[in-house]
Amino acid sequence: MNKQLKNIFGLITVGFLPYLINFLILPLYSHYLTPADFGLIGLAMACMMVGSTLSNLQLPGALSRIYFDYEGETRKKYVSSVINGSFLISLVFIVFYLLLSDAITDLVFKSSEYVNLFHTVLIMLLFNLTNLSFERLLINQQKGSAILVRSLVCQGISITSGIYFIIYCKFGVQGFLYSQALYYISMTIVSFLIIRKEYRFTIDINYLLESLTYSFPLIFHAIGGVVFMYSSVFFIENMLSLSALGVFFIADKFSQVIKALVNSLNNVIMPIFNRLSVISDYKGKAFLEKLIPIWFLLILLIVLHFSFFAELFIKNYITGDYGGVFIPLFLMSSAYIFRGFYCFSSAPLFFKKFTGVIPKITILTGVLSLVFNYILIKLYGLSGASFAILASFFCSFVLAYYFSGKAYRITFSFLKNVKILGLVLVTSLIPLLFINIENIVVLSIFSTVIISVTLFTLFYFNVFELKENSVLVRELV
């Protein structure tokens, strides 16, 4: 297997791994954690994600682009300055949050009795922020195999510690967070061991200022992103119940398999786009435009079949009352299609360093998300919350497509994508709706056959020019 294929395999596998493990571990945990417990976990994880938007000033984001402007020892000094600067800035924010522990706990959890949960969240946050720089460096270097090995080791630690703290010690929600803290700590340690030869104990203020010029606008981008990703959690807590939030958490956990697939493919695609765009804008643009119909077909098929599979899995193996989970699961999974479209549309903005435009997109989307969540949750409960997420992702894509005109627009063949959607609905959704399969093995075989036959037929007969596009993509890469 050549280096490129190893990188693709490693990044896609490592993206899937944490969420596929949910299929193994959540049924076990559900015997010891109630829907309300899962609701508390959802709040804690949302709290960590909110903290991650500001606490490192988004410095690791600069590595995605500026990394390619340097070479050799200069690149190592630049990367090390970002890593060290990001860690020190994160540490200052963590101390600040620690001083405000009681107030933040009352605000988020509606009770100061959960302050220990918040302290564990701060440990998770510090090591997650530290690992983000390592993660971005490894992705830029296309070290997919190393990332896969790291993930296997750290997931093993997470599972082992989770079983110990939740099942043996019966620590409940706190035990789950302990296992997550150990996961992020081990990720940071293993990541550092992998990149240690690239690391220098130095901080160059000029490199930091250059990175902050790129990354500072991304803070508002991240805040807007977290608002439209996690505002549903806080609306559900206030307007519904912790148990309802637990159902939402389970649906979200399973839908994140699709998120992992989209993000993993993005981690493979964007470095190739950046490399081709350094040669010429035309090559980068052509690469994405030929790839998008292939990507859309694949993701759409997986979203449809996975949603039915996950619902049946939850019904058969997750202990507790999680009725009505299908609609939130399906809508949230579908939302990540527009997440992918957003990444394609905004790629020229990131490459051309027009990061000042990005916050406009996410802040506008965040405001719309608040409106969507309030109205739709009030009207339709959990289904409304998931539809609000779908609508928010769609808006982010539309806005990214509009603002990308400041650089150049990636052309979407919308008519072709509509035809692909229609074909998939006929060949996949209709059979899944009308053939009631209750056995998970039979459903898996059925879905595999449908997906395989659909892909083979469309590519073999070059329907929608898919075969031709795939050849052109390979030639560009």
pLDDT tens sequence across 378-433? 999 989 999 999 999 999 999 999 999 888 999 998 899 999 999 999 999 999 98
125 and 5 co-located in one domain: yes
Q: What is the DSSP letter of 404?
A: G
**Range of lowest pLDDT (69-73, 86-90, 333-337):** 69-73
* Mean pLDDT of all residues in 315-320: 87
Is residue 144 over pLDDT 80? Answer: no
User: pLDDT-based confidence at 9, cuts 50/70/90?
Assistant: low
185 and 228 co-located in one domain: no
* Mean pLDDT of all residues in 133-160: 82
pLDDT number for residue 14: 64
Q: How many CB atoms lie within 10 A of CB 129?
A: 25
Segment 115-140, tens digit of pLDDT: 999 999 999 999 999 998 888 888 77
Is residue 1 over pLDDT 60? Answer: no
pLDDT number for residue 228: 67
| 174 domain residue, yes or no | yes
State the Cα torsion 37-40-44-47 to the nearest 10°.
Answer: 160
Instruction: Tell which residue, 96, 77, 90, has the closest CA to residue 208.
Output: 77
pLDDT number for residue 105: 92
Answer with the one of 203, 226, 249 that is the final residue of a domain.
Answer: 203
pLDDT number for residue 350: 86
pLDDT number for residue 137: 83
366 and 439 co-located in one domain: yes
187 and 96 co-located in one domain: yes
pLDDT number for residue 347: 93
pLDDT number for residue 302: 95
Average pLDDT over all residues of the chain: 87
Is residue 475 over pLDDT 80? Answer: no
| 348 domain residue, yes or no | yes
Residue with tokens 């019966």: 170
Cα–Cα distance, 134 to 115 (Å, whole number): 30
Answer with the one of 157, 174, 203 that is the final residue of a domain.
Answer: 203
pLDDT number for residue 401: 95
pLDDT number for residue 324: 83
| 208 domain residue, yes or no | no
* Mean pLDDT of all residues in 186-215: 87
Is residue 180 over pLDDT 80? Answer: yes
227 and 320 co-located in one domain: yes
177 and 290 co-located in one domain: no
| 123 domain residue, yes or no | yes
pLDDT number for residue 260: 83
Residue type for position 326: F
Q: How remote is the C-alpha of 14 from its chain's centroid?
A: 12
| 386 domain residue, yes or no | yes
pLDDT number for residue 145: 74
Residue type for position 447: S
248 and 386 co-located in one domain: yes
257 vs 227, more confident: 257
Domain extent, residue 28, equals 1-203
Segment 241-280, tens digit of pLDDT: 888 888 888 898 899 889 888 988 888 898 889 889 988 8
279 and 352 co-located in one domain: yes
* Mean pLDDT of all residues in 172-184: 95
Give the tokens for residue 297.
Answer: 């077909």
> Buried b / exposed e across 200-227, counting CB within 10 Å, b at 16+?
eeebbeebbebbbebbbbbbbbbbbbbb
| 470 domain residue, yes or no | yes
> Buried b / exposed e across 44-80, counting CB within 10 Å, b at 16+?
bbbbbbbbbbbbbbbbbbbbbbbbbeeeeeebbbbbb
Helices (H), 318-357: 326-351
Structural domain count of the chain: 2
| 452 domain residue, yes or no | yes
Is residue 288 over pLDDT 70? Answer: yes
188 and 254 co-located in one domain: no
129 and 188 co-located in one domain: yes
270 and 187 co-located in one domain: no
Is residue 82 over pLDDT 90? Answer: no
Q: What pTM value is reported for the model?
A: 0.78
**Enclosing H/E stretch for 325:** none
Q: How many CB atoms lie within 10 A of CB 8?
A: 20
170 and 306 co-located in one domain: no
Answer with the one of 144, 168, 203 that is the final residue of a domain.
Answer: 203
Percentage above 90 pLDDT, the chain: 45
| 212 domain residue, yes or no | no
Percentage above 70 pLDDT, the chain: 95
Rank 15-24, 68-77, 305-314 by mean pLDDT and report only the highest.
305-314
